[in-house]
C-alpha cells in the first residue's frame, strides 16, 4: 500500500523558517515525481512545488518562489520542503502528493498524504 506521511508542521512567527518532511513507502520512490500542495483554512487547493524523480528539476508556484526549496533524499524515500521568510498567508495544511500520469509523467496527484498544519502567526 502506498503511504505518504508528512511531519514537521507547527507554529512559526512571520519571517521564520520551517522544514517539512514526507516519508514515502509502498512504491518505488526513486521513479516518481513528487509534489507539495497546500490548503489554507477553509480555502481551496494550491499547488506549491514539484521535484523530478532524480531531484535535478524543481518547479515552484510564484507565491513561494525564492522562499521555499523542495528537495528529496532517494536513499531515505523522503521528500522535503524548506520554507523560509514565512508569511501569515503561508498558513495552511501542507500535503505531499505523488505525481501520477503515463510513462513516468506527473499530470495529477495520487495519492496524497494526510497533511501537516503550518501556522504562521505572531
Partner 1 sequence: EIVLTQSPGTLSLSPGERATLSCRASQSVGSTYFAWYQQKPGQAPRLLIYAASYRATGIPDRFSGSGSGTDFTLTISRLEPEDFAFYYCQHYGNSPRYTFGQGTKLEIK
Q: Which residues bind partner 1 (CB under 8 A)?
A: 35, 37, 44-47, 50, 59, 61-62, 95, 100-101, 106-115
Nearer to partner 1, 50 or 120 (CB): 50
Find the shortest distance in angstroms from Cβ 40 to partner 1: 12
Q: Give CA–CA dist 64/72, Å, rounded.
A: 18
Find the shortest distance in angstroms from Cβ 48 to partner 1: 9
Find the shortest distance in angstroms from Cβ 75 to partner 1: 26
Beta strands across the sheet bearing 68-73: 3-7, 18-25, 78-83, 68-73
Task: Establish how many alpha carbons lie within 13 A of residue 29's alpha carbon, considering only the half-sphere containing its beta carbon.
Answer: 19
Amino acid at each position: 500500500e502506498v503511504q505518504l506521511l508528512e511531519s514537521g508542521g507547527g507554529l512559526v512567527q512571520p519571517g521564520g523558517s520551517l522544514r517539512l518532511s514526507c516519508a514515502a513507502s509502498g512504491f518505488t520512490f526513486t521513479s516518481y515525481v513528487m509534489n507539495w500542495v497546500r490548503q489554507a483554512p477553509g480555502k481551496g487547493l494550491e499547488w506549491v512545488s514539484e521535484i523530478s524523480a532524480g531531484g535535478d528539476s524543481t518547479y515552484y508556484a510564484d507565491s513561494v518562489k525564492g522562499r521555499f526549496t523542495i528537495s528529496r533524499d532517494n536513499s531515505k524515500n523522503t521528500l522535503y520542503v524548506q520554507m523560509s521568510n514565512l508569511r501569515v498567508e503561508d498558513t495552511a495544511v501542507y500535503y505531499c502528493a505523488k505525481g501520477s500520469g503515463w510513462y513516468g509523467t506527473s499530470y495529477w496527484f495520487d495519492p496524497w498524504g494526510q497533511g501537516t498544519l503550518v501556522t504562521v502567526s505572531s
